[in-house]
Amino acid sequence: MIESISLKFTKRTDPLVVPARGVTIFVGPNNSGKSLLLREFESAFMSNGTSETKIFGDYELQWPEEAQFRSDIEKLKEKAPSDVQLESIYVGRFNSSGSFDAQKLDREALFNIFKQRNKRWMASQFFRFFQIRLDGRTRFDLTNDRPSGDLAGAPVNLFAHIFQDDTLRQEIREIVFDAFGVYLVIDPLNGGNLRIRLSQNPPADDEQSLAKSARDFHQAATHIKDASDGVQAFVGILIAVLSGDFRSILVDEPEAFLHPPLARKLGYQLAATTTKRSGSFMASTHSADFLLGCLQASSQVRVVRLEYSNGKSNGQLVDSDALRKFFKAPLIRSANVISGLFHDGVVVTESDNDRAFYSEIYYRLTENEPGFPSLLFVNAQNKQTIRDIIGPLRAFGVPAAALVDIDILKDGGSTWTGWLKAANFPSAMTGSLGVLRGDLHKRFIDANVDMKLKGVDGLPVQGDKDAVNELFDTLDQFGVFVTRDGELESWLRPLGVTSRKAEWTVEMLQKLGDDPGASEYVRPSNDDVWEFMQRIVAWVRNADRKGMSVGS
């Protein structure tokens, strides 16, 4: 039904056009506009006109063939009350509150406008009945008890529909059992109301009767409102989506209240349903597990990363094949790197020791200074594999900073070129920076200076020091931050930590203290590692930062 949507951002002169067929997942840090985008899309689709929006631009419809259009109308007759006139078309759906939303349209006028390709009228008056949007407030309401109405007539709400449709009820039941190990049933015993129950035992053939066996069965089952928030959220989304012929499904943070395995199952089910219906599913999420579930169920999954920094908005369409390849890499899975899609930025260190120390430093900077970006600290296996992480993340639109020891100067040839490529240096700079790196490395060798122990200040000639710092300043601009005093163990030397490697990290974290109320608790200052971390934060915050791929 939806061919594409276009999004507008302050950092792009042209709108970002996103294909809508299949699954589209919007990711990014908090306040990047993910939820707002879905609301603006629904509002634009429901209204016969244009409304002021911040991110959403416009939509294009995938017009069905007339034969398909007529077939859809014939299906709608099944929902129509007996008193609807032949010249009218009765259009209806179960909306996000679980109630039935319907209207009558003049048959001749509808066909005329369909042939005119008036997309706004068709969307707001007809196609909107094939779209649903669910958010955090509605998913719990969807499991509330509901009046049964006349169960011999047309269903008046979701529960009545599920109660009457044996095939649908069984489909939902199988998915819920796979997720929670319990059987979903609709209990009709509460004086004209229907309620969802969850049973440890499978229902018998007389589950809808008033016989004593059925009464005992429902009484022994758990009312869904006594189940966990995760169960209610999962079931609420599931019954809403499966109970209608929705070709356009919008869900805001579907993973809310769900443990990671359930988020993955829900992603799989929603993506699989979309594929079966040849429709479009759009979701905003902070969950790598939900995203992975979608990728496992459908080959038509695209990711759009949104960003808002210093008053500037941006969006980037992530290459789906590259994302799948990224997910499959053992290093990426073990380090939880993919979660970086949902943060303001990622900081990649050489080892887990580095990660533990730098993340603690960052935590202390954020303790008393609000407004810091959300940063994910991850570690590679060594200095070289940092490049394997920052390159793809930047291609996905994620500001990924590399933290390395000073011996990056030893990385010559293709290794050095690989660093510049991963950090998206312009090709025109590659040759000159390679020559400069080799010359500066030789200065350390000629002066017999151990760069990891002495750092830049170990060079005896001031001009050499200035040249090394200028090179590192250039690397800073592209998000590659070098420990200029040598290595991890060179930080906070006044604390007197003399151990090495893992022992240094353990001793240093102990020296930093764990009680903010104690006098010996180490707080941030304006120099040393604190200043180093502030430079990294400034690069992430800079909406015009260098080192991102084209379009980021």
- pLDDT per residue as tens, the chain (552 positions): 799 999 999 988 899 999 999 999 999 999 999 999 999 999 999 887 667 889 999 999 988 888 888 887 777 766 666 555 556 776 777 777 777 777 788 888 888 888 999 999 999 888 888 899 998 778 888 999 999 999 988 888 889 999 999 999 999 999 999 999 999 999 999 989 999 999 999 998 888 999 999 999 999 999 999 999 999 999 999 999 998 888 999 999 999 999 999 999 999 999 999 999 999 999 999 999 999 999 999 988 999 999 988 888 999 998 778 888 887 877 777 778 889 999 999 999 999 999 999 999 999 999 988 889 999 999 998 888 899 899 989 989 999 999 999 999 999 999 999 999 999 999 999 999 999 999 999 999 999 999 999 999 999 999 999 999 999 999 999 999 999 999 999 999 999 999 998 999 999 999 999 999 999 999 999 999 999 999 999 999 998 999 997 655
Bridge partners, 7 (sequence order): 16, 56
444, 477 Cβ separation under 8 angstroms:
no
What integer pLDDT is reported at residue 551 of this predicted model?
57
402's CB contacts (< 8 A; 6+ apart) are 348, 386, 387, 390, 422, 423, 479, 480, 481
Distances (CA, A) of 482 to 256, 401, 477, 486, 487: 39, 11, 11, 8, 9
184, 198 Cβ separation under 8 angstroms:
yes
406, 487 Cβ separation under 8 angstroms:
yes
Instruction: Select from 18, 20, 30, 7 the least CA-distant residue to 373.
Output: 30
- What string of H, E and C letters represents the secondary structure of 218-234? HHHCEEHHHCCHHHHHH
Count CA within 13 A, CB hemisphere, residue 116: 11
Could you please report the per-residue DSSP string of 47-89?
SSS----SSEEEEEE-PPPHHHHHHHHHHHGGGS-TT--TTEE
What integer pLDDT is reported at residue 90 of this predicted model?
66
Residue 92 carries which side chain, given as an amino acid letter? G
401, 348 Cβ separation under 8 angstroms:
yes
278's CB contacts (< 8 A; 6+ apart) are 21, 247
Q: Cα(76)–Cα(10) distance, rounded to whole angstroms?
A: 43
H or E segment at 187? strand 183-190
What integer pLDDT is reported at residue 83 of this predicted model?
56
What integer pLDDT is reported at residue 499 of this predicted model?
93
